Amino acid sequence: MTKTFFLSAAALLASSFTAQAFAEEVNVYSNRQEFLIKPILDTFTQETGIDVNLVFIKDGMGERLEREGRLSPADLVLTVDVSRLMDVVDKDLTQAVQSEVLEANIPAQYRDADGKWFALTTRARAIYSSVERVGKRDDITYEELADPKYKGKICTRSGKHPYNVALTASMIAEHGSEYTKNWLQGLKDNLARKPQGGDRDQVKAIKDGVCDYALGNSYYYGVMLTNDDQRPWAESAYINFPNQGDRGTHVNISAVAMTKHAKNKDAALKLMEFLAGDEAQHLYASANHEYPVKPGVEPSELVNSWGEFKADTLPLTEVAKHAKEAIKLVDEVKYDL
Amino acid sequence: MKRYGWTVSSWGIALALTLPVLALIVESLLPAEDIFRHLWASVLPAYIGNTFWLVLLVMGLSLLFGLPAAWLMAMCELPGRRLLQWALILPLAMPSYIVAFVYTDLLDYSGPVQLALRDWFGWQSATDYYFPPIRTLGGAALVMGLVLYPYVYLLGRTAFLEQSTSLVQSSRLLGCSPWQSFRRVSLPLARPAIAVGMSLVAMETLAEFGTVNFFAVNTLTTAVYDTWLGYGSLQAAAKISAIMLLVVMVLLSLERMSRKRQQVFQKSMGHEQETGYRLTGVRKWAALGFCWSLVALGFLLPFVILCYHAVRYFDRAWNARFFEYSLNSLLLSAVVAVLALAMALLLGMTHRLKGKRHTVLPLRLASMGYALPGTVLAIGVLVPLTMMDFAINDLALWLGLPEPGLLLTGTMTAIAFGYLVRFGAMAIGAVESSLNKVSPSLDMVTQTMGYGPAAMIWRVHLPLIRKGMLAGALLVFIECMKELPAALLLRPFNFQTLATYVYQFVSDEQLELGALPAIVIVLVGLIPLIFLNRSLEQHH
């Protein structure tokens, strides 16, 4: 019994070595879940014959890459949030990539000037409002959520979740630290309950009447609408794109970057270009109800039905710069306690 | 050399297992900007308070649930005891983040329970009635108590069963009531085992992240994650971990000191004959009700909910990946369990053969990793192993050979090592508490008869501590099946465990899709539990 276990374990080990030694392949560290991108990567493998190996790393990707150094097997990293992306870029773990395809397909504000990272999709930090008690609010702003008139009417997830951190960081970039601290305090005072759960839980709370407004990413609206159990949550709320009267709605990105020590550079570049191409852009965006970055590629029909909006043009690197300051403010106002 | 073999190898193992902790301590000594001061001024005091109360509450609840159950199952005759005594272990097979998910979902304002209440009584909003909020410290403690009490139950029951009946009989003959005999004879004898169980509970609670996160309770683990991932300071995170570790060490030493003078050995193993108390009437029903409620709340209810989801989403969940990951998890857990047991035996026997002072240290050192949160442990594992990887590659380069790549951190070695560091303490604790009950006079007799240490271990000790060994190895196996945060960071390419697979769904708020693999984690955990129980049974 034990012997069989050991033998099988040894076989498993051996196969993991050999698998890495032959055949053209790309190794990807991703903090986007496997089931969301696997179909796109499979399409890539079918078309090119290049295998894609994937590890889902939710947290600590930068730490791991840093420790592995030149021995790291990773060729590409896929991130789902700008501050996690910049963590990897700032630690000098990515390398510049020159590609006409990438430069032609991805607008300048969605990629690094030196080619150290490229955004693939965008999503908006929306404000959901109750259909029953509020109605559609096209004029809403992030700033006014701190107004005492919203006392007890707002739900959010933890202030330290990367999505909320990025929003707070964009507030710092726009208004400065002191204003943002007061804003966070005001927002906290208006919360209907202690921050908890995920973005979808907040919309569910609107349906249950716990609160009237909630912060949440745009793609969750699509996820809920296409899930039989969650459709009623989505239908109880409108999706509003804030700050249309001024700077526009805060957007975040999912992105790809080549690691500094990539060993399969050619294959990795092929995958990057594939991800920025028409087919993958459409697949990638519609699989998760996001907005493609390549001009001319339409979002899914469902996403289109939510209407067009103006996105904040503040460079995302600017947002990422204020991320640590944002977390500090969240702690200072004890947002989650 | 031969004389030092035992000591040297146990020190070797202990130091290897301490590497991650040492790496963290070194890291924690590096300067950490002013993050620490900032944390002290803002949230850290509240986190410390939460952690303190949570650990205390969970320990209290585990004792409250586990100890009476252990005693009832070991000492009393109850209808359906054979079924009940292993059903009580079942919550152990259930990953706590799943139980947490199920209960928050069930008891939230929008959950079916409150929905039904509002329906029945016509309440309109939250202001119309009071319902204890589940996403609180109390809620978290209750759920964790329900999942963790089996540690106390399992070790406590084994201890009660291993107690010589003649002692209990003597106490009864000398005029003790059942309660007095429990308090004055059984309990003190079982105390080392219960203490081990309680410290397992405390360390699990301290290292827990997923569950407290579901309950929106911020603890020191939250602080570790925040400082590491949010503020990007491994140094500050390591500092907090080091403080947590220190607290655990102090608690454990205090506990050990408090029973230092207590040396108890038993001349016989197990019951010579069945002398269970026969419970009747109200007592019988109260005992049965108590035990079955534990089983129902800690296992049956979450399991039924998982089954419901698994059936509804069966078509989407039943696929090749699911089988592959099941096999991965099984193999990994089995290998680690065997290694942990071998290690525990070596350390435990060295301590026994070589006297006290200098051999107890390796034993304690090797158990330290258990108190580390999984993510922190993973970083601690990565630091020394990548250093070794680089050494190996540099050596290859120097010899003019092709670089072999990440031999340790790029393969299953890293994750297996991580698990050994984290769960070795369970095997060590189980083996140690069993060994402690074997009278030293037996060793002396064996030696007088001319046996060497190896023969003595093989022919005397191993048969006597078989149950403890099995219990230890199985605990390790089950924990490896469930473990999540370290697996997320340490697994190599194209390698998923069932836990990481389930977590992908849970973290995306789609437990439905992860229900089938979650059930497999539970069922696979059940098989060793059944074995464990049968071996305990066969003795009687």
A residues 260-299 closer than 8 Å to B (CB): none
pLDDT grade for A195, boundaries at 50, 70 and 90: very high
| 3-state SS string for B167-200 | HHHHHHHCCCCHHHHHHHHHHHHHHHHHHHHHHH
Q: Do A33 and B386 touch (CB under 8 A)?
A: no
pLDDT attached to residue A270: 95
The mean of the pLDDT values for chain A is: 89
Write out the H or E segment, with its range, that includes residue A126.
Answer: strand A118-130
CB A168 within 8 A of CB A236: no
pLDDT grade for A278, boundaries at 50, 70 and 90: very high
Q: Do B135 and A196 touch (CB under 8 A)?
A: yes
Nearest-Cα residue of chain A relative to residue B513? A35
Size of interface A-B (CB pairs under 8 A): 142
Sort out which chain B residues have CB atoms less than 8 A from A58's CB and list them. 488, 507
pLDDT attached to residue B261: 54
Residue A7 has pLDDT above 60, yes or no: no
> Which of A3, A6, A12, A334 is the mutation pick for testing B, counting most B CBs within 10 A?
A12
CB A155 within 8 A of CB A191: yes
What does the pLDDT look like over A56-99, one tens digit per residue? 887 778 888 888 888 889 999 999 888 889 889 988 999 999 99
**SS3 of residue B519 by DSSP:** helix
> Which of A17, A26, A58, A91 is the mutation pick for testing B, counting most B CBs within 10 A?
A58
C-alpha B323/C-alpha B103 separation (Å) is 28
Q: Determine the residue type at B503.
A: Y
Give B206 to chain A, closest Cα distance, Å: 19
Sort out which chain B residues have CB atoms less than 8 A from A261's CB and list them. none
Q: Which residues lie below 8 Å from residue B316, measured CB to CB, with a gap of 6+?
A: B513
Indicate the pTM of the whole model: 0.81
DSSP state of B227: I
Burial B11-25 (b: 16+ CB within 10 A, else e): bebbeebbbbbebbb
HSE-CB at B396 with a 13 A cutoff on CA atoms is: 14
The β-bridge partners of B266 are B438
Nearest CA among A317, B403, A160, A91 for reference residue A77: A91
A residues 21-80 closer than 8 Å to B (CB): 27, 33-35, 53-60, 62-64, 67-69, 71-73
Give A308 to chain B, closest Cα distance, Å: 26
**What counts of helices (H) and strands (E) characterise chain B?**
27, 2
Q: Of the ranges A196-200, A271-275, B238-242, which one carries the lowest mean pLDDT score?
A: B238-242
Q: Which residues lie below 8 Å from residue A143, measured CB to CB, with a gap of 6+?
A: A175, A183, A243
Could you tell me the mean pLDDT of each successive run of 10 residues in chain B, 540 residues long?
69 85 85 79 89 93 93 85 86 85 83 84 79 87 93 85 72 76 76 82 82 85 80 81 79 68 53 63 87 93 90 77 85 93 86 71 77 78 86 87 82 90 86 80 78 77 81 87 83 83 75 83 80 63
Nearest CA among B81, B24, B72 for reference residue B369: B24
pLDDT attached to residue A9: 53
Q: Do B493 and A8 touch (CB under 8 A)?
A: no
CB atoms under 10 Å from CB of A30, counted, come to: 23
Q: Do B230 and A160 touch (CB under 8 A)?
A: yes
Sort out which chain A residues have CB atoms less than 8 A from B43's CB and list them. 331, 334, 336-337
- Rama region for B353: left / alpha / beta (φ>0; ψ in -120 to 50; rest): alpha
Please report, for residues A260, B46, B155, B477, the alpha-carbon distance to residue B233 in angstroms, rounded to integers and kept in the order given: 22, 20, 39, 33
> Which of A53, A223, A331 is the mutation pick for testing B, counting most B CBs within 10 A?
A331
Nearest-Cα residue of chain A relative to residue B38? A328
Nearest CA among B446, B389, B385 for reference residue B417: B385
Q: Do B390 and A71 touch (CB under 8 A)?
A: yes
B residues 222-241 closer than 8 Å to A (CB): 225-226, 228-232, 234
Sort out which chain B residues have CB atoms less than 8 A from A192's CB and list them. none
Sort out which chain B residues have CB atoms less than 8 A from A12's CB and list them. 328, 331, 412
B216 closest CB neighbour out of A2, A53, A195: A195
Token output for B364: 């304690």
Nearest-Cα residue of chain B relative to residue A233? B110
Whether A219 has a binding-site annotation, put simply, is yes
Nearest-Cα residue of chain B relative to residue A335? B43
pLDDT attached to residue B141: 94
pLDDT attached to residue A249: 96
pLDDT attached to residue A260: 95
Please report, for residues A12, B160, B266, the alpha-carbon distance to residue B466 in angstroms, rounded to integers and kept in the order given: 31, 16, 16
Give A331 to chain B, closest Cα distance, Å: 6
Sort out which chain A residues have CB atoms less than 8 A from B135's CB and list them. 194, 196
Q: Do A87 and B232 touch (CB under 8 A)?
A: yes
Sort out which chain B residues have CB atoms less than 8 A from A73's CB and list them. 405-406, 410, 493
Residue at token pair 């259909």? A131
* B34: contact with A, CB 8 A cutoff: no
Sort out which chain B residues have CB atoms less than 8 A from A41's CB and list them. none
**What counts of helices (H) and strands (E) characterise chain A?**
15, 10
* B188: contact with A, CB 8 A cutoff: no
pLDDT attached to residue A11: 52
Q: Which residues lie below 8 Å from residue B439, measured CB to CB, with a gap of 6+?
A: B265, B266, B267
Sort out which chain A residues have CB atoms less than 8 A from B226's CB and list them. 160, 327, 331
Sort out which chain A residues have CB atoms less than 8 A from B36's CB and list them. none
Nearest-Cα residue of chain A relative to residue B223? A331
CB A211 within 8 A of CB A193: yes
Whether A220 has a binding-site annotation, put simply, is yes
C-alpha B211/C-alpha A252 separation (Å) is 28
What does the pLDDT look like over A116-168, one tens digit per residue? 999 999 999 999 999 999 999 999 999 999 999 999 999 999 999 889 999 99
> Rg of the Cα trace of chain B?
24
CB B197 within 8 A of CB B152: yes
- pLDDT exceeding 90 applies to what percent of chain A? 67
Q: What number of residues does chain B have?
A: 540
pLDDT attached to residue A18: 46
Nearest-Cα residue of chain A relative to residue B512? A229
CB A97 within 8 A of CB A258: yes
B residues 58-117 closer than 8 Å to A (CB): 109-110
C-alpha A164/C-alpha A168 separation (Å) is 6
C-alpha B104/C-alpha A48 separation (Å) is 46
pLDDT grade for A19, boundaries at 50, 70 and 90: very low
A residues 162-181 closer than 8 Å to B (CB): 165
A71 closest CB neighbour out of B39, B393, B512: B393
C-alpha A50/C-alpha A26 separation (Å) is 7
| 3-state SS string for B46-112 | HHHHHHHHHHHHHHHHHHHHHHHHHHHHHHEECCCHHHHHHHCCHHHHCCHHHHHHHHHHHHCCCCH
CA angle A269, A275, A278 (to 5 degrees): 125
C-alpha B467/C-alpha A152 separation (Å) is 57
Sort out which chain B residues have CB atoms less than 8 A from A22's CB and list them. none
pLDDT attached to residue A137: 92
Q: Which residues lie below 8 Å from residue B167, measured CB to CB, with a gap of 6+?
A: B185, B189, B266
Sort out which chain B residues have CB atoms less than 8 A from A337's CB and list them. 43, 46, 218
Q: Which residues lie below 8 Å from residue B234, measured CB to CB, with a gap of 6+?
A: A63, B27, B228, B379
Please report, for residues A146, B85, B281, B292, B413, the alpha-carbon distance to residue B285 in angstroms, rounded to integers and kept in the order given: 56, 16, 7, 10, 50
DSSP string, B319-333: SHHHHHHHHHHHHHH
Give B370 to chain A, closest Cα distance, Å: 21
CB atoms under 10 Å from CB of B265, counted, come to: 12
pLDDT grade for A20, boundaries at 50, 70 and 90: very low
